Chains A and B, each alone.
Chain A
């Protein structure tokens, strides 16, 4: 005797969110049944293995049928096929678009193309995430990217409107889209210690302060690209290292403010010019796409690593960068206050996020 057909259809679609997670994790039906058994599902309702298998199969089929709708979440709310309470709809969408940050870290900054998709089995091996789940996550990245790429207006809001995601998740996606678009270098060995959340934070900063949308929300342009004009103006900051007087005065001001306040004062005093030069050079180079891509590796190599070598604490770096930024305002001849603040604000918060003691 064998079961030829076995279906259960409710007027309100029944969805077990625990099973949903197993499905999202890319488990096969039999693996999912095993997991559920281990979690004690058999104790409920006097179930047996047969019942559990039937239920799991049915749930998996339901999710599979809904998957098409999840690709355009706004449809889920207006479609008539499945009556799903709005509460559940939200959970369905949110969970479907949730991703493993380990996976996201691997893909970050890579081109979301077929080529990358082929590498997914490597990533699957490396991260221990099932290939099926990797594919779903990758396809989600790609789908979101494709939809918002050409859209005008704030990136996060665009993602939220089209994919009905929560604020946090939409911000993470914004970071992924931003990185994929600008193709920032994140794969170098020296950057390996940085987590997805570190990069996501930096991306948030860049989106908030360095894009066109950041200055003028009325501008009908995209959040995805950094503002060209701003990057160009950054060249003007070179005066801080090229003008020797200004550099010296800057150093004096910073040293005065920090004396006795940080342990690494001595080292700071010695290294000030190097550090300052590193930050300013970085700014002036950003007109080249290649250098924009290398933003993070440069930050690490030119600033974070030296500091770490000298065993700065986060608090010390915070103090240094604060005074370093403020001191520039006191330089009488320095005219680029606005750009300076816009630049240093982001750089400071990025460095602080990326500096792991």
Chain B
């Protein structure tokens, strides 16, 4: 079905001088979509032309609308010779195709040239008239929403999680086509940019089709990657999680507000949304053909039909059920994930085994029970097994037929199967926090995938329409009533336990082992859960997901990195691939050991957001593992690290060892202090503040079987395999009784060195690679997203592994140090979502790129918040519910007067009052100075909208009111005058700044004021200083949103009000 695309070229400004004689430019614009081109008139002799063109109309298929970008070219008219191009703007039309996203694209776009960078700006207006499409046999998938965010987007609630979607498109890389030898670098770059834009449009459309086929309406955790395979082609692949999302109607929005602005409160348990959550009729009309919701006959979102024939959505489909999803399921698990009230808690529930059966049956029929989400609605995650990962080394060969990307498809299929089987080995039926990546060097390619094996609540797979619980459930440490069901339902629970349970509902379910205690997949030390005392937990837990909202954490977390460098002989083809795949398991093992040591050194027992990257170069392999370490209260306290020498006869040697041991012990003690890790027992010293934890000690007195706290560590299973039939390696050293580092071992010396040389974080700084730092709650609006790139040249080619390791570690440490120094004005502050990417762009070069966001928080209120939190966790459920509502009301009433004066109703905000809304939302300094600016008459029009960018899925102290669509952009920049542009640093600096500027401009043009879940997925930098040339490719993505700021007034009082309301709440119930 066709749609009508309309574009209008309004004006240009700051154009470059194209005519040296007059110092002016005769600019005109070509607007191109598909094969149709329109032109504006020439606006002679001006650097600020006003074209004010007519509406250019393109009548096109919606399939094309999804695939093609609108291409705007600004040219300088030349009477005698060919017209000179000034630059281009590519506009992705996709956000206009979903009625819930943006309705118009309007604003100033930087005019970009791949050789000269940004050259002026152009004001464009774009609209789409989409004819209502009822044909379900279509090839387009307009209307499916895409989110980069790896959690359920705020202002939506999840009705159904359908599962994994993936797609892959391949093509020849224009850079390697024969024609590239005769065309200019500019033409070649533009061909590449255009092709990738087309390919990602196509990819998104195809994924959308799959989602529609599954009955969903959105893709969450959409991750798109490019593999630049050089000669053998260009691969664009994407994975995501298909969901059915319901938009929260504006009326229920204040509900969300409550959670957002009071995220410092323990009382506002988001899970209680289950009771006061919005009704289901908030669905958008467009999706009215979608299967009717919950209870009225749950559809099983399984892929029952082959993907080649998209089935029409007949009304009969929702009624057809898989045999496994029985009605008993509904009756048996009424409280799982829904147990928001304490009243249900006392009934006997289904047994664990039964639960497993259900979920397994529901999930196992899927091809891949894999989810790209890292953060879940409360109750979704039942148990977590551990990290599963797979790597495979492949030799690339030319993609002969772009229409049949089967080889690549088969590779990934293989890997996903392996991941699935690893998860199974851990007794889990699903994988969450899943991601895929590649590293390519010449014709060798390492494909990697990793995720966290988990047991999920089956209700979400069919109809458990639980709320996402507003925006910031992650920020709340409060135990979730929503989590209660899964554990409370255990048959073995005695009534005595239940008594305690009411006082402190278990928030520990997810750490309980999913596998069979007597038939463990790997050796591990199990103990009874330190929280509920009923279930077994491992002593250490590694995961790739974000810290679940319900998890109870002692103290603060910190970034933990393991770094490794391994040299390798230069080789070709098969030999090379074999040597790489031989090295891989050893690297994984060492990275793992490093992580474990560092974790213990910080006295922590769990890792979240673990991401292990292995990059391949011609003569070395780089491994970098990053994760956020925390102390989970439910897991046993970690033992220390003991150093043992092999030759104890020598006295001086003994002394050496004992000094080492002392240093390690000191560091552990220091770290405990630094991260505020004091095991729960100490908390009883302050009975007033820590009532909630008192119960735990009582439990101990009661005499639950507490195993000895052993100085030991278990190794979770990090399955590593390469395709070259490597026998599976058992990496665990859990068989050893104590965690001993033998000093004779050179690796151990190295380990200790790296342990002790990690520079301490400067005071006032925290860092993590997850969305937020556990233990920090009162964020201010101070926010700074940044990207930093460094390239080191190794001067000495004959470096040993050890020497390389040292260099690589120093590199990362220095980079972090520089970041801290740069951001020192934001203290106290936390670097969140620190994402390191390493690469070996050339022989002897190491490239490290970091993207993160620095967020400052309020130190004064921090302690108070801590107290309030601990206190809050002691309140019982009824109280929580009650105070929740009170809180909600009070914040709403607070909210109204501040929100009203701006007079921006939600609908109007998108269109006319865009500037005002964004201005209002801008942080204080900007807002304040705005008045200064407005008093002056700027000749160049309205001030630029401030656009915030963050890799997180939220902005602290704000509420996201609308998602405007996905931003996915690919840019190439090339220069033949590297020295003149300030060398490689100058070149890359301005390119990254340009990319940011273009992203901001697109967000602003959509009517947004922020980009969340931002990521820079690719930053490929190549240089040839001898030729004075350099080239760089950057791919960025994120979700454009409109946010509104919670008033400053509210940001402070919640602390006070929380206490008040909680006390009144208590009064009310007692």
Interface string of B747-791 (1 = CB under 8 A from A): 000000000000110100100000000000000000011111111
| Contact status A7-B789, CB under 8 Å | yes
Q: Does B925 contact A (CB under 8 A)?
A: yes
Q: For the complex, what is the distance from the CA of A167 to the CA of B985, rounded to whole Å?
A: 38
Q: Does A54 contact B (CB under 8 A)?
A: yes
Q: For the complex, what is the distance from the CA of A47 to the CA of B108, rounded to whole Å?
A: 40
Instruction: Write out the residue numbers on chain A whose beta carbons fall within 8 Å of the beta carbon of B759.
Output: 46
Looking across the interface, which residue of chain A has its beta carbon closest to that of B788? A8
Q: Does A187 contact B (CB under 8 A)?
A: no
For the complex of A and B, the 5 pairs showing the least CB-CB separation, nearest first, are A86-B929, A78-B940, A5-B791, A87-B929, A10-B786
Closest Cβ of chain B: how far from A78's Cβ, in Å?
A: 4
Instruction: Write out the residue numbers on chain A whose beta carbons fall within 8 Å of the beta carbon of B788.
Output: 7-9
Q: Does B380 contact A (CB under 8 A)?
A: no
| Contact status A87-B926, CB under 8 Å | yes
Interface 9-mer from B58-66, B931-939, B969-977: B931-939
Q: Which of A9, A54, A61, A80 has the most CB of B within 10 A?
A: A80
| Contact status A54-B818, CB under 8 Å | yes
Chain A contact residues, CB within 8 Å of chain B: 1-14, 44-48, 50-52, 54-55, 57-58, 61-62, 64-65, 74-75, 77-83, 85-87, 89-90, 160-161, 164
Instruction: Write out the residue numbers on chain A whose beta carbons fall within 8 Å of the beta carbon of B784.
Output: 10-12, 14
Closest Cβ of chain B: how far from A15's Cβ, in Å?
A: 10
Instruction: Write out the residue numbers on chain B whose beta carbons fall within 8 Å of the beta carbon of A77.
Output: 933, 938, 940, 943-944
What would be 17 A-B contacts, judged by CB atoms less than 8 Å apart?
A4-B792, A5-B988, A6-B791, A7-B985, A8-B818, A9-B788, A9-B993, A11-B784, A11-B785, A11-B1000, A44-B821, A45-B820, A48-B817, A77-B933, A77-B938, A78-B940, A83-B997
Q: For the complex, what is the distance from the CA of A87 to the CA of B946, rounded to whole Å?
A: 13
Q: Which of A4, A10, A12, A74 has the most CB of B within 10 A?
A: A4
Q: Does B319 contact A (CB under 8 A)?
A: no
Q: Does B13 contact A (CB under 8 A)?
A: yes
Given A5-B1021, A11-B786, A51-B814: A65 touches B989 (CB 8 Å cut-off): yes
Known: A5-B789, A89-B929. 6 other contacts (CB 8 A): A1-B793, A5-B985, A9-B993, A65-B993, A77-B944, A85-B926
| Contact status A83-B793, CB under 8 Å | no
| Contact status B929-A78, CB under 8 Å | no
Q: For the complex, what is the distance from the CA of A1 to the CA of B1001, rounded to whole Å?
A: 39
Looking across the interface, which residue of chain B has its beta carbon closest to that of A78? B940
Q: For the complex, what is the distance from the CA of A200 to the CA of B762, rounded to whole Å?
A: 49
Instruction: Write out the residue numbers on chain B whose beta carbons fall within 8 Å of the beta carbon of A48.
Output: 817
Instruction: Write out the residue numbers on chain A whose beta carbons fall within 8 Å of the beta carbon of B794.
Output: 1
Given A1-B792, A48-B817, A80-B121: A90 touches B993 (CB 8 Å cut-off): no
Residue in contact with B993 in the complex, picked from A45, A54, A82, CB distance below 8 Å: A82
**Chain B at the A interface: SS class:** mixed
| Contact status A86-B933, CB under 8 Å | yes
| Contact status A61-B982, CB under 8 Å | yes
Residue in contact with A3 in the complex, picked from B790, B822, B982, CB distance below 8 Å: B790
We find that the number of chain B residues with CB closer than 8 angstroms to chain A is 69
Interface string of B807-835 (1 = CB under 8 A from A): 10000001001111111100000000000
Q: For the complex, what is the distance from the CA of A161 to the CA of B937, rounded to whole Å?
A: 7
Looking across the interface, which residue of chain B has its beta carbon closest to that of A8? B788
Instruction: Write out the residue numbers on chain A whose beta carbons fall within 8 Å of the beta carbon of B762.
Output: 45-46
Closest Cβ of chain B: how far from A55's Cβ, in Å?
A: 6
Instruction: Write out the residue numbers on chain A whose beta carbons fall within 8 Å of the beta carbon of B993.
Output: 9, 13, 65, 81-82
| Contact status B110-A80, CB under 8 Å | yes
| Contact status B996-A11, CB under 8 Å | yes
Q: Does B662 contact A (CB under 8 A)?
A: no
Q: Does B984 contact A (CB under 8 A)?
A: yes
Looking across the interface, which residue of chain A has its beta carbon closest to that of B981? A65
Looking across the interface, which residue of chain B has its beta carbon closest to that of A75? B14
Instruction: Write out the residue numbers on chain B whose beta carbons fall within 8 Å of the beta carbon of A1.
Output: 792-796, 807
Q: Does B902 contact A (CB under 8 A)?
A: no
| Contact status B822-A14, CB under 8 Å | yes
Q: For the complex, what is the distance from the CA of A5 to the CA of B108, rounded to whole Å?
A: 32
Closest Cβ of chain A: how far from B113's Cβ, in Å?
A: 14
Given A80-B1000, A82-B993: A61 touches B986 (CB 8 Å cut-off): yes
Q: Does B947 contact A (CB under 8 A)?
A: yes
Q: Does B845 contact A (CB under 8 A)?
A: yes
| Contact status B992-A7, CB under 8 Å | yes
Instruction: Write out the residue numbers on chain A whose beta carbons fall within 8 Å of the beta carbon of B940.
Output: 74-75, 77-78
Q: For the complex, what is the distance from the CA of A82 to the CA of B1000, rounded to whole Å?
A: 10
| Contact status A55-B818, CB under 8 Å | yes
Looking across the interface, which residue of chain A has its beta carbon closest to that of B819? A8
Instruction: Write out the residue numbers on chain B whose beta carbons fall within 8 Å of the beta carbon of A2.
Output: 792-793, 795
Q: Does B990 contact A (CB under 8 A)?
A: yes
Looking across the interface, which residue of chain B has its beta carbon closest to that of A4? B791
Closest Cβ of chain B: how far from A44's Cβ, in Å?
A: 6
| Contact status B822-A8, CB under 8 Å | yes
Instruction: Write out the residue numbers on chain B whose beta carbons fall within 8 Å of the beta carbon of A47.
Output: 817, 821
Given A44-B821, A51-B821, A80-B108: A6 touches B939 (CB 8 Å cut-off): no
Residue in contact with B13 in the complex, picked from A44, A46, A50, A78, CB distance below 8 Å: A78
Given A51-B821, A75-B14, A80-B997: A9 touches B121 (CB 8 Å cut-off): no
Closest Cβ of chain B: how far from A3's Cβ, in Å?
A: 6
Q: For the complex, what is the distance from the CA of A164 to the CA of B794, rounded to whole Å?
A: 48
| Contact status A78-B938, CB under 8 Å | yes
Q: Which of A13, A55, A79, A81 has the most CB of B within 10 A?
A: A81
Looking across the interface, which residue of chain B has its beta carbon closest to that of A160? B936
Q: For the complex, what is the distance from the CA of A50 to the CA of B985, rounded to whole Å?
A: 16
Q: For the complex, what is the distance from the CA of A164 to the CA of B943, rounded to whole Å?
A: 14
Q: Does B928 contact A (CB under 8 A)?
A: yes
Instruction: Write out the residue numbers on chain A whose beta carbons fall within 8 Å of the beta carbon of B271.
Output: none
Residue in contact with A86 in the complex, picked from B787, B793, B932, B937, CB distance below 8 Å: B932
Closest Cβ of chain A: how far from B940's Cβ, in Å?
A: 4
Q: For the complex, what is the distance from the CA of A86 to the CA of B919, rounded to whole Å?
A: 12
Q: Which of A9, A52, A78 has the most CB of B within 10 A?
A: A9
Q: For the complex, what is the distance from the CA of A77 to the CA of B1000, rounded to whole Å?
A: 15
Residue in contact with A85 in the complex, picked from B819, B925, B949, B1001, CB distance below 8 Å: B925
